[in-house]
Amino acid sequence: MRKWIFVKSTVFFLVPISLLFLSGLFLPPTPRASTSLLFANVKKDSLLQHSEGPRIIFVGGSNLSFGLNSQTIRDSLGLYPINTGVNAAVGLKYMLENTLQYVKEGDKIILSIEYELFYKHYDQTSDVLLRTIVDVFPEKWKDLSLSQKFRLIPYLPRFSLTKLNPTEYVAYSENQMYGGNTFNEYGDAVSHWNLNGWDFRPANIGGQFNMNVIHKMKEFESAVNQKEGEVLITFPGLDEVTFQKNRHAVLQVERNLKQTDFTILGSSERYVFPGEMMFDTHYHLIKEGVDVRTKRLIYDYLQTIEY
């Protein structure tokens, strides 16, 4: 009898809690969440779907959104640039598979992948991926692997509780640096271009290198080639102190990319920048750094094409 009472009490306790946590999957995004940079994905997907060629598409995380001047690229190369970078935490699987569905004949796809992603699971999960799928693109839930869906469960409680937080509905304002409206018509983050850099800590990059990430990138390249597109690899703009601290990990990424016979633009060290050109993380550049990186990328692209 006591055992039955315990089971009954446990069920009565767990069911409401479970329903509360699951509610986040069905409630609409809060007004605050609707202003976040993740909703820039809507505009960027629209660019991928509707812009006319010839196009050059940049795929990666925020090293791209905070690291390119696409107008300069368009003026120099005569290609329509689309900067899809938002947040690396969404994972490489999402980035590549989401881009692939929009690839058109003649597209040039430039992959600029944050170094940390080479030391994680290809189909990694995060709260950023959960928010992107649930709040921004619910229809893309089906595109996740079964493993990803299960591994997103631990992020549900915190996510659902934000839907019940009053500050998500009142007394909020859009983040001026990381809001959904901070991107220009090509997908570049430009709100910080008139600001100086902020202090930040150098990052730690490394762990067990995941060769499967390289293999998946190669599969992506083959799929793009089947659509009559082309894939090229460049490197993120990286803070010099972070590079020196993680030299082995960065060079290991470059070495494995070269051994897999990708078309490489430049080198990892060519895209290392002094601290005075960085903004607020080891991948984000101030306007001066953005322009220098963009000019180097254009030069490396032209050298590769001419070769």
Q: What is the pLDDT of residue 1?
A: 56
**Is residue 24's pLDDT more than 70?**
no
- Assessment of whether the complete model's pTM goes beyond 0.75: yes
**Is residue 267's pLDDT more than 60?**
yes
Which range marks the domain in which residue 38 is found? Answer: 2-306
Q: Taking residues 252-258, report their average pLDDT.
A: 97
Q: What is the pLDDT of residue 23?
A: 56
Written as six digits, the tokens of 120 are: 């994680």
Cβ atoms of residues 92 and 214 within 8 Å: no
Rounded CA-CA distance 199/143 in Å is 38
Question: Dihedral of the CA atoms 246, 252, 258, 262 (nearest 10)?
Answer: -70
Rounded CA-CA distance 114/30 in Å is 29
Q: What is the pLDDT of residue 91?
A: 97
Task: List, for residues 81-136, the tens digit of each pLDDT value.
Answer: 999 999 999 999 999 999 999 999 999 999 999 999 999 999 999 999 999 999 99
Lowest-confidence region among 12-21, 26-35, 123-132, 242-251: 12-21
Cβ atoms of residues 208 and 288 within 8 Å: no
Share of the chain above pLDDT 90, in %: 79
**Single-letter code of the amino acid located at 179:** G
Rounded CA-CA distance 103/209 in Å is 29
**Single-letter code of the amino acid located at 190:** V
Lowest-confidence region among 27-41, 49-63, 207-221: 27-41
Write phi, then psi, for 115 (nearest 5 degrees).
Answer: -60, -35
Task: List, for residues 219-244, the tens digit of each pLDDT value.
Answer: 999 999 999 999 999 999 999 999 99
Written as six digits, the tokens of 268 are: 């990892």
Please indicate whether residue 9 or residue 141 has the higher confidence score (pLDDT).
141
Q: What is the pLDDT of residue 169?
A: 87
Rounded CA-CA distance 104/47 in Å is 12
Domain count, the chain: 1
Written as six digits, the tokens of 232 are: 């090229």
